[in-house]
Structure 1
Amino acid sequence: MPPTASDSPAAATDTAGDAAALYLVWHDPEAAPARPLDLHGDGHPLADGLWLIRSPLSRSKLYHRIKWQLPGDAALACAPLADDPDGWPKFKGMAAGALAWLRGGSAG
């Protein structure tokens, strides 16, 4: 089961707005921490180190929250996506269920 939003009090104050935004997040799979990442939102894995994440955090906040969980020299990218069918990425050969997750609005 993918990690879900943080229950920390700070998470409620660092939002980009009431609605969650969709992000494509990649980190070097070789730098994955021993514990599962806290995605600070609802996420679906596409491949090792590659995630679609819906989060109420701004891009900068999400980037930094993920960065702080990785080793200091780990490569990381966080890109916002339009959360409608025209803005979704096209993909093939990724983890099962990604398109259903996008269409459903969440993994829940």
Structure 2
Amino acid sequence: MADGTPRLYLVYLDADATPRPAPELAELAPGLYLVRTARSRSQVYHALKRRFAPRRLLVAPLDGDPKFKGVRPGALAWLRATGDRDA
């Protein structure tokens, strides 16, 4: 976002491209991630596209914290630790 406020994005990145663990990134399942960053959707999309050259890529902003079940352990703790809202 232009004002520097961190925003939450849902990212799908094909399984051939696997990002290294990073504080702003949480893997929910193979290829499915949450990203909290002050970057715009376009900046996140193009950074991932350049770095991993994926066959499939989706970057979608989320208005609030998502609900989920059956994802990698620690995802909810990451969401709570990086956000201002209750999950």
Q: What is the deviation of 1:19?
A: 1.2
SS in 2 for 1:68: helix
Q: d(CA) in 2 for partners of 1:103 and 1:62? A: 21
1:69 — aligned with what? 51
- Unpaired runs of at least 5, structure 1: 1-14
Contact 1:27 1:77 in 2 (8 A): yes
Q: Is the 8 A contact 2:7 2:38 kept in 1?
A: yes
State the partner residue of 1:88: 65
The share of aligned pairs that are identical, in percent, is 45
Which structure: larger Rg? 1
Secondary structure of 1:69's counterpart equals helix
- The aligned amino acid for 2:8 is L
Aligned-residue offset at 1:67: 0.7
**Aligned-pair CA distance for 1:92:** 1.2
Aligned residue pairs, count:
83
User: What are structure 2's unaligned runs of at least 5 residues?
Assistant: none
- TM score, norm. by length of structure 2: 0.80
Which residue in the other structure is 2:17 paired with?
32
Question: Larger % of strand: which?
Answer: 2
Query: Which aligned runs of 4 or more in structure 1 are off by greater than 6 angstroms?
Result: none
Which TM-score applies when normalising by structure 1?
0.66
Say if 2:3 is the partner of 1:17.
yes
Name 2:60's counterpart in structure 1. 79
CA-based RMSD of the aligned residues comes to 2.2
Secondary structure (helix, strand or coil) at the match of 2:46 reads helix
